[in-house]
Structure 1
Amino acid sequence: MSRFDPEPTLQDEAARAGWLYYVGGMTQDQIAAEMGVSRQRAQRLVSRAMADGLIQVRLNHRIGACMDLEAALRDRFGLTRCRVVPGLGAGADPVLAIGSAAAAELERFLRMPDPMVIGLGTGRALRGLVEGMNPIDAPQHRLVSLIGNIAPDGSASFFDVVMRIADKVRAPHYPMPVPVISPTVAERAAFHALGPVQRVLELARAADVIFVGVGQMSDDAPLQTDGFVSHAELAEMQAAGAAGEIAGWVFDSDGNYLDFGLNLRTGGVRVEPGLARPAIGIAAGATKVRAIRGALKSNIINGLVTDIPTAEAVLKLA
């Protein structure tokens, strides 16, 4: 070595070992032979290169963009769980993109051996979750609906999912036997006063983890489309700043629940902001961005499954 060349430092050696491993594609045995060191030292040098930040890994795959967005959403909103999947492009139903990812999140909890109470909302996204699920034997858990399952005409709500999931996982299940929206405040109170309903309400309030859809309150609001509220009722809530709804409970763009109108007649249990249990929202689509952002901002939900376009739009709005 020339007297003008400095003696290589430990970091120099680590950088060289890291380059040989991550760029050159050498094994640790090959690096040891190349550098004239033991295999154990080669391994330590490669580890040091990563620990010292000398190596920067770039994932050249579309999943890399998903992981970046997941990290950004976790950091921005303090999320406990976040899954972002690639979108399907303009005109496609975003539920088709997120259904399998949402199913995988629920299956993760269902495979846990300790008994849990799993609270479930309703809606198209939850139906997509069910369709993406694999059958699992999970009789140790209990499934409970957070929202009523009776439509205005007395029929069962089409998008109620608790029984559909129970069929796939062989778990005890508890539908919420009240109207989604009662005609009057007094009728809601009468339903909630019934003994069997109170027991389901208590179980729902004790849920260890919840999965909910996030509905928008724009002119295409699911509550209006599915016949639960009239055009006049929707307009009244919109005038008060309504941005979204979860399990039938309407909130504004900051995630604050409104204290009048529809919210006085909604059946079931309201998802309270800031509780410690996982509360995972399943939603995607341009019309839902404002609603998702509000639910995240107030911590009504602390987990999210969505797609890339929606995640980007939520972060831009935030």
Structure 2
Amino acid sequence: MTSVRRLAFSLPMSDARLLSKPSRLPATPPPQFGDLVAWAAWLYYVDEMTQAEIALRLGVSRASVANYLQEARRAGIVTIRLDPGAVSRTAAAKALAERFGLAEATVVPALEGRRVDTRIGVAGAKVLAALLEEGDTVGVAWGRTILALARAAEPAGIERLTVAQVSGSSASTDDFAPELCTTLLANQLGARCVNLHAPAVLSSRDLRDRLLAEPALQRQFALINSATKIVFGVGDIGPTSTFHRSGMLTEEDLGRIVAEGRAKGVVIGRLIDAAGRPVPSPIDDGIVGISVEELKAVPVRLCLAGGPLKTEAIRGALVGGLATHFVTDSDTAERLLSGS
């Protein structure tokens, strides 16, 4: 949002109050103003009157009012100034879209003392609302940012809207609770909710394959694979990450993967490298959820992610084409664009 400084002049408070009182003023401008141009500018920009109302007040035509306002700009009576921060964020969003081939990028200002995942989630809710269409099936992943989006979402008023969980459930923390993210978002949007009634990770490929052969789960995965849009985050794999605390991998396995250095982050339970390609992990055969390639098959892919610990992981996801739409904070945007 731009911040605009409307007027280059000011009046004493008593005079400003006098002008804003509804009264029949003559066409001759008050003594505070040199001419009708300055008076029209005040009425338009400060008193927020319409051009039609100003024309009636001044006893002139609407065309004359429009000319007065243009002249006020030319004469420097009125100056419009964009907030540099807003301009830089807009420029960063455009640069991100161009750099990573995105349909759209959104950059929110980073504020000290405010959780970046919450701010990105709130912005992501607005982006998602603008993207939704009648008949959409929206796949939902998990994580702190996705949960923030779900909490910030508002009723969509869209017919035949379905929200579907794209990875299995877990009895872990709220941050790793795909069913919570899905249910909350569906309730907020007033949409049909389809949870995935299966664990996030099973102990063997054979067990997973037999479970996924069940007709109920086959129908659920058919719905998931028909998703028109998907909302997901990008995580790091460090000791404080949601993925680490999820317990999907043992401490030993995760430590070995981190030491190898190939994996840079995680997307919907799948490890990815610096180019967004899947990195094999011991749990791959037991994961119940969509793969990286299935993610890329969804037409609209809204990625929400930010924070210094996730920069490498986010860059990998964007380089790999995992997202079509991206929401982040200004600090992360700067790091992604600078290569740091």
Pairwise mapping of residues 92-103 of structure 1 onto structure 2 (< 5 A)?
92-103=114-125
Aligned residue number for residue 94 of structure 2: 71
**Using the alignment, how far apart are the partners of 1:263 and 1:85 within structure 2?**
34
Q: Is the radius of gyration larger for structure 1 or structure 2?
A: 2
How much has 1:32 moved relative to structure 2? 9.0
How much has 1:82 moved relative to structure 2? 1.0
How much has 1:214 moved relative to structure 2? 0.8
SS in 2 for 1:134: coil
Pairwise mapping of residues 1-318 of structure 1 onto structure 2 (< 5 A)?
29-30=67-68, 59-89=82-112, 92-110=114-132, 112=133, 114-151=134-171, 158-160=177-179, 161-238=181-258, 239=260, 241-272=262-293, 274-275=296-297, 277-317=299-339
Q: Which structure's residues are more often strand, by fraction?
A: 1
**Using the alignment, how far apart are the partners of 1:141 and 1:213 within structure 2?**
21
**Using the alignment, how far apart are the partners of 1:315 and 1:33 within structure 2?**
41
Residue identity in the other structure for 2:135: P
How much has 1:175 moved relative to structure 2? 1.0
CA distance 1:84–1:260, shift in 2 (3 Å)? same
* 1:165-220 deviation digits (Å, cap 9, x = unpaired): 11112211211122112222222222222111111111111111111011112233
Q: Check conservation: 2:228, 2:298, Cα contact below 8 A.
A: no
Q: Sequence identity, in percent?
A: 24
SS in 1 for 2:196: strand
How much has 1:33 moved relative to structure 2? 8.7
**Using the alignment, how far apart are the partners of 1:32 and 1:310 within structure 2?**
40
Count of aligned residue pairs for this structure pair: 269
SS in 1 for 2:328: strand
**Using the alignment, how far apart are the partners of 1:237 and 1:182 within structure 2?**
20
**TM-score normalised per structure 2:** 0.72
How much has 1:141 moved relative to structure 2? 1.1
**Using the alignment, how far apart are the partners of 2:189 and 2:71 within structure 1?**
54
Q: Check conservation: 1:146, 1:270, Cα contact below 8 A.
A: no
SS in 1 for 2:124: helix
**Using the alignment, how far apart are the partners of 2:143 and 2:175 within structure 1?**
13
CA distance 1:195–1:274, shift in 2 (3 Å)? closer
**Using the alignment, how far apart are the partners of 2:178 and 2:87 within structure 1?**
33
* 1:112-151 deviation digits (Å, cap 9, x = unpaired): 3x31111111111111101212233334111111111133
Moved more, 272-281 or 226-235: 272-281
How much has 1:302 moved relative to structure 2? 2.0
**Using the alignment, how far apart are the partners of 1:32 and 1:232 within structure 2?**
70
**Using the alignment, how far apart are the partners of 2:222 and 2:111 within structure 1?**
40
**TM-score normalised per structure 1:** 0.76
SS in 2 for 1:223: helix
Moved more, 259-268 or 280-289: 259-268
How much has 1:97 moved relative to structure 2? 1.7
Q: Check conservation: 2:168, 2:197, Cα contact below 8 A.
A: yes
Structure 2 unmatched ranges of 5 or more: 1-44, 46-63, 75-79
**Using the alignment, how far apart are the partners of 2:201 and 2:171 within structure 1?**
8
Q: Check conservation: 1:124, 1:159, Cα contact below 8 A.
A: no
Q: Check conservation: 1:150, 1:156, Cα contact below 8 A.
A: no
**Using the alignment, how far apart are the partners of 1:131 and 1:297 within structure 2?**
29
**Using the alignment, how far apart are the partners of 2:298 and 2:65 within structure 1?**
45
CA distance 1:100–1:115, shift in 2 (3 Å)? same
Q: Check conservation: 1:178, 1:268, Cα contact below 8 A.
A: no
